[in-house]
């Protein structure tokens, strides 16, 4: 399928178009993205997270600030994202610096989560060793007792990060591996240089 948006000079608009099409084919997982980080030791690390916000400021995900990914971002505040939508034969690669979302943004998103997920944010020592699952279940029960209703405050160690793009690559599958690759690189004035790459 040829890229119908090659004339678009705003990569955020192009992202939104591709994301909207992805939701029609992958209604449960279209917002799944690989997040790649690098810690102080230079070792790369990648995992799947969920995109929870996207606008011209960047791409937002939420996590425990004491997790491995958060520790790596504290050491190196640059990251890469990868979206892969196999039904459309598309990928989007995004690279940039990472910043914290505001407390108001984190509070607003946290309030939309299921009750058990909000309690889980309190109960989990994310990324740290767990001797047995019963320990997690015990901690969850403790917080269920502590917060019996729906009024569960956001933990201070749980918040969001925004990847502020400096580079996009839109990859479209084409016959015979002659794929179409469009790159957007941020300019000093905030605009975007647009180019193509060999497949």
**φ, ψ of residue 4 in degrees (nearest 5):** -85, 0
Q: In angstroms, how far is CA 46 from the centroid of its own chain?
A: 11
* Rounded Cα–Cα distance for residues 53 and 141 (Å): 31
Is residue 170 within 8 Å of residue 182, measured between CB atoms?
A: yes
Contacts 24+ apart (CB under 8 A), 49-58: 51/83, 52/109, 52/160, 53/101, 53/105, 53/109, 53/160, 53/162, 54/12, 54/15, 54/16, 54/19, 55/12, 56/12, 57/162, 57/164, 58/96, 58/99, 58/162, 58/163, 58/164, 58/165
* Rounded Cα–Cα distance for residues 158 and 119 (Å): 11
- Would you mind telling me the total number of residues written for the chain in this entry? 199
User: Which of 78, 177, 181, 186 is the catalytic position?
Assistant: 177
Q: Does residue 177 have an active-site annotation?
A: yes
Residues annotated as catalytic are: 177
């Amino acid at each position: 399928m040829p890229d119908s948006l090659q004339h678009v000079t705003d990569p955020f608009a192009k992202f939104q178009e591709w994301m909207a099409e992805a939701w029609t084919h992958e209604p449960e997982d279209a917002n799944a993205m690989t997040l790649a980080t690098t810690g102080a030791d230079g070792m790369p690390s990648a995992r799947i997270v969920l995109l929870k916000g996207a606008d011209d400021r960047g791409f937002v995900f939420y996590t425990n600030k004491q997790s491995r990914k958060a520790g790596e971002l504290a050491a190196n505040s640059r990251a890469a994202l990868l979206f892969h939508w196999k039904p459309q034969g598309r990928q989007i690669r995004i690279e940039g610096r990472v910043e914290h979302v505001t407390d108001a943004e984190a509070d607003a998103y946290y309030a939309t989560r299921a009750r058990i997920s909000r309690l889980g944010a309190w109960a989990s020592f994310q990324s740290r060793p767990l001797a047995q699952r019963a320990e997690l279940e015990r901690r969850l029960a403790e917080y269920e007792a502590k917060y019996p209703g729906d009024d569960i405050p956001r933990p201070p160690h749980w918040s969001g990060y925004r990847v502020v793009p400096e580079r996009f690559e839109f990859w479209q599958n084409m016959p015979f591996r002659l794929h179409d690759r469009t790159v957007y690189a941020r300019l000093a004035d905030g605009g975007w240089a647009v180019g193509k790459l060999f497949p």
